[in-house]
C-alpha cells in the first residue's frame, strides 16, 4: 500500500462550508429563541421539575456515550502510526489543516457502507465501518479513504457535535427547516472533504462508490449522472422525498462536489468515463497490415513415410516427452 503526500495549506473553513448551512443556521437560531422561552416557562411552572427530568436525561445520555466509547475502544481497531499508518497520516494532516483537535479513529467490522463522527465523554472519535473501507480499498489505494475521513473530520471542524449545535437544533420545530439544515450540514462536510483531499477524482470515487458500488465507479458516466440529477430535481416526487430526509440525494452531493471543484480551480476528474471536462482521445489511424509472403509448397519425396502415421499410446498411460 502506498502513501500519499497531502497538501499542507490551511483550509478556510467558512469558505468551504455550504452557503445553505450558514443561512439555515441563522433561521434555526431565530427559532431557538421562542423554544428557550417556552422551556423557561415550563421550568418555572413545574417548580423546577423540568430541570430534574433534564438532569436524568443528561445522565442517561452520558452513560450511553460512555458505553459506546468503551465498545469502540474494545472492539474496534485504533488507527495510529503503527496501525494503518496511511489513515493515521491523513487524519493528522486533515485535523491540522482544519485547526481541530485530532479525533480518535477506529475501524470497526460492520458490513454497512457508512462512517460517523461523535463527541463522547469529551473525546472526539471517527468510526469507519469495514463495509466502506473494504469497498474503497478494493477499488484503489488507501488515498481513496481520504474523502470518507475528510467528511467525518468536517463534522468536528464545523462544530456539528458541539453544544452550540444542540442549542441550534431547538429551532428545528419550524417545518422542514430542521431537515434542510441537516442536509446542508452534510453538503458542508462533503465540501470540507474535497478541500482536504484537493482532488476531484478521490472525492467523486468516494461518493460514487456509495452510490453504485466500487466496481461500477470507473464505468460511471459523470456527465450523464449530472444530467440525470438536473432532470430529477424538478420532479415533485424527488422534491417531496428530499424535504423529509436528513440526508441529501446522492446525485445532489455529486453535483455539489463538482460545482465546488470548479469554483476552487481543482482539476476535473480524470478517471471517470463520460466526463464533460475530460478531453477526447485523438483517433490513431490503423497501420496497414502487409499480406503474408507467398511460399511454394514443399512436397515430400515419393518414398518418405506419411507424417500422419504415428503410433498412439493406449488411453490411460502417461507418455513422457
Mean pLDDT score of the chain: 85
Q: What is the pLDDT of residues 199-220, one digit of tens each?
A: 999 999 999 999 999 889 989 9
Q: Which class for 264: exposed (0-12), middle (13-18), buried (19 or more C-beta within 10 A)?
A: middle
Query: Within 13 A of 9's CA, how many CA atoms are on the CB side?
Result: 7
The yes-or-no verdict on residue 2 having pLDDT over 70 is no
The reported pLDDT for the residue numbered 295 is 47
Q: Are 211 and 252 within 8 A, CB to CB?
A: no
- Return the number of other C-beta atoms located less than 10 Å from residue 167's C-beta: 14
Q: Is the dihedral of CA 57, 61, 62, 63 positive or negative?
A: positive
Alpha-carbon distance of 151 to 253, in angstroms, equals: 12
Indicate the pTM of the whole model: 0.81
Alpha-carbon distance of 72 to 129, in angstroms, equals: 11
The reported pLDDT for the residue numbered 166 is 84
Q: Tell me, what DSSP letter sits at residue 112?
A: S
**Phi, psi (rounded to 5 degrees) for 4:** -145, 140
Alpha-carbon distance of 18 to 189, in angstroms, equals: 8
Q: Where does the pLDDT of residue 281 fall: very low under 50, low under 70, confident under 90, or very high at 90 and above?
A: very low
Alpha-carbon distance of 123 to 34, in angstroms, equals: 32
- 249: which strand partners? none
Cα end-to-end distance, the chain, whole Å: 44
Q: What is the pLDDT of residues 74-100, one digit of tens each?
A: 999 999 999 999 999 999 999 999 999
Spell out the domain ranges in the chain.
Answer: 13-263
The yes-or-no verdict on residue 231 having pLDDT over 90 is yes
- Return the number of other C-beta atoms located less than 10 Å from residue 16's C-beta: 22
Amino acid at each position: 500500500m502506498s502513501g500519499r503526500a497531502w497538501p499542507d495549506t490551511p483550509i478556510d473553513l467558512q469558505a468551504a462550508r455550504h452557503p445553505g448551512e450558514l443561512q439555515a443556521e441563522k433561521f434555526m437560531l431565530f427559532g431557538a429563541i421562542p423554544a428557550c422561552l417556552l422551556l423557561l416557562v415550563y421550568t418555572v411552572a413545574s417548580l423546577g421539575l423540568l430541570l430534574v427530568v433534564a438532569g436524568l436525561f443528561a445522565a442517561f445520555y452520558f452513560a450511553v456515550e460512555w458505553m459506546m466509547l468503551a465498545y469502540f475502544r474494545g472492539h474496534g481497531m485504533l488507527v495510529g502510526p503503527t496501525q494503518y499508518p496511511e489513515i493515521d497520516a491523513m487524519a493528522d494532516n486533515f485535523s491540522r489543516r482544519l485547526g481541530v483537535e485530532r479525533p480518535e479513529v477506529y475501524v470497526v467490522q460492520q458490513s454497512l457502507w457508512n462512517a460517523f463522527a461523535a463527541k463522547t465523554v469529551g473525546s472526539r472519535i471517527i468510526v469507519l465501518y469495514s463495509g466502506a473501507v473494504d469497498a474503497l480499498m478494493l477499488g484503489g489505494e488507501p488515498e481513496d479513504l481520504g474523502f470518507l475521513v475528510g467528511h467525518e473530520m468536517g463534522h468536528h471542524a464545523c462544530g456539528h457535535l458541539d453544544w452550540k449545535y444542540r442549542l441550534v437544533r431547538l429551532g428545528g420545530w419550524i417545518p422542514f427547516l430542521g431537515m434542510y439544515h441537516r442536509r446542508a450540514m452534510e453538503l458542508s462536510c462533503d465540501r470540507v472533504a474535497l478541500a482536504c483531499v484537493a482532488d476531484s477524482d478521490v472525492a467523486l470515487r468516494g461518493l460514487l462508490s456509495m452510490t453504485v458500488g466500487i466496481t461500477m465507479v470507473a464505468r460511471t458516466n459523470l456527465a450523464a449522472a449530472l444530467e440525470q440529477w438536473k432532470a430529477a430535481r424538478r420532479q415533485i416526487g424527488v422534491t417531496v422525498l428530499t424535504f423529509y430526509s436528513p440526508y441529501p440525494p446522492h446525485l445532489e452531493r455529486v453535483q455539489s462536489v463538482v460545482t465546488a471543484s470548479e469554483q476552487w480551480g481543482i482539476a476535473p476528474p480524470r478517471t471517470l468515463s463520460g466526463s464533460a471536462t475530460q478531453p477526447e482521445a485523438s483517433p490513431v489511424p490503423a497501420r496497414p497490415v502487409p499480406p503474408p509472403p507467398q511460399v511454394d509448397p514443399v512436397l515430400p519425396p515419393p518414398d518418405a513415410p506419411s507424417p500422419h502415421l504415428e503410433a498412439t499410446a493406449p488411453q490411460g498411460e502417461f507418455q513422457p516427452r
